[in-house]
Structure 1
Amino acid sequence: MTKGPVRLDVAINYALPRKGLPAAASFRKWVAAALEGRIREADLAIRLVDSKEGRSLNRHYRGRDYATNVLSFPADMPEGLPEGVKLPLLGDLVICAPVVAREAREQKKALNHHYAHLTVHGVLHLLGWDHEDEREAECMEQLEREILATLGVADPYLED
C-alpha cells in the first residue's frame, strides 16, 4: 500500500454527445478513489463510446460480438508498451455509454453511481484484479464495495 497523494493524468475522450454523461472531473474522482493507497503515479485514458464502437472493440479484442459496459486495456498487455519502456502508463478504459444507461435503468441504479462502479471496476482490472473464478470475483467485488463506499455509492451487488 502506498500513502500520500496520487499523481494522476486521466484523459477523458467523449466519442459521442456528452449530454447526460458524467463530467470528466467525476471520472477523475472515481479513478483516484480506485487508486488510493494502491499506486502513486498513473496515466490512463477513458474513452466513452457508442454501441457500434463498443461492439467492434469487444469483438476484436475479446471475440465477443456485442457491446459490453467496460473494456480494460492494461498497458502491460502483449500489445502494450515496448520492452524497457518505463512509464506510469496504467492503460485504457473504454466505457460504452448506451450499455451503461440500459443497465442502470434495468437495475434501477442512479446512472452516475453505475458509471462510478464501472470506472472503479475497470481501474481494478488495469491494476491486475480479475474475476475469472469465484474466489477472485468475491475479493474484487469486496474491494469495489469498499472503494465505492468512500464515494457514497451503495453496494452495487445488492439485489433488490
Structure 2
Amino acid sequence: MLLELDLQQATDAAELPTESQFQTWASLALADYRDQAELTIRLVDSEESRQLNHQYRGKNKATNVLSFPFQCPPGLELPLLGDLVICAEVVATEAKAQGKTAEAHWAHMVIHGCLHLLGFDHIKEDEAEQMEQLEIDLLAKLGFNNPYLTDAE
C-alpha cells in the first residue's frame, strides 16, 4: 500500500508518535481497501478539537479523533482519502484512564479514524460490531490488546 501522509502538528503536547508510526498504522488500516491513498493527520490541542467537534458534530467538547472524508467529484478518481484530526490531550487522558499505553491508544485512534474515512461506522449495532472487530484484528497485528476489553473482563 502506497500512502502519502501529510502530518501536521498543531499542538505542543509532548511524547507524540513519530511520523513513521502514523504511516505504519494508517497503512495497515487501509491496506485491504486501497492500493494507494493520500491522507492528512492533524495533531491538535483541546481547543481546536472542541471547536471542530462543535462546528461539525454539534458537540461542545474536545474529542479523540475526527474524520473528514474527501468527497470526490463524480467522474474523477483521486487517491485522496481525507483528513483525521486527533487531539493529543484527549488521547493521553483516555489512554491513562483506560490503562493502555499511549502508543496502543494512538494506534487505535488512527485505525479507527481511517476506517471512518473508508466508510465504516458504528451507529448501528451490526456496523459497530464489524468495525470493532476490524480494529481488534488490526491492532492485534501490531501486538496490541483488544481496546474494548476492560480490566474486569
Find the partner of 2:77 among 71, 86, 90.
Answer: 86
Question: Aligned partner of 2:128: which letter?
Answer: A
Summarize deviations over 1:43-85 as a string: whole Å, max 9, x none: 0100000000000000011111001000000002xxxx44444
Residue of structure 2 in register with 1:71 after alignment: 66
User: 1:18 deviation in Å?
Assistant: 5.4
Once the two structures are superposed, residues 75-113 of structure 1 have per-residue CA deviations (whole angstroms, 9 ceiling, x without a partner) of 02xxxx444442100000000010001101110100010
- Looking at structure 1, the residues matched to 53 and 32 of structure 2 have their Cα atoms a distance apart, in angstroms, of 31
TM-score, normalised via structure 1 length: 0.91
User: Is the aligned partner of 1:115 residue 2:106?
Assistant: yes
Q: Helix, strand or coil: the match of 2:96?
A: helix
Q: CA separation in 1, counterparts of 2:25 and 2:114?
A: 9
Residue 3 of structure 1: aligned partner: none
Same amino acid, percent of matched pairs: 53
Match of 2:19 in 1: 24
Say whether residues 1:157 and 2:152 are aligned partners: no
Contact 2:25–2:107 (8 Å) recurs in 1: yes
Say whether the 8 Å CA contact 2:13–2:89 is kept in structure 1. no
SS in 2 for 1:129: coil
1:14 — aligned with what? 9
Question: Residue 97 of structure 1: which of 67, 84, 88 is its match?
Answer: 88
Q: Distance in 1 between the 2:23 and 2:36 partners? A: 13
* Displacement after TM superposition at 1:17 (Å): 2.2
> After the TM superposition, which parts of structure 1 deviate over 3 Å for at least 4 consecutive aligned residues?
81-85
Aligned-CA RMSD value:
1.1
Question: Match of 2:126?
Answer: 135
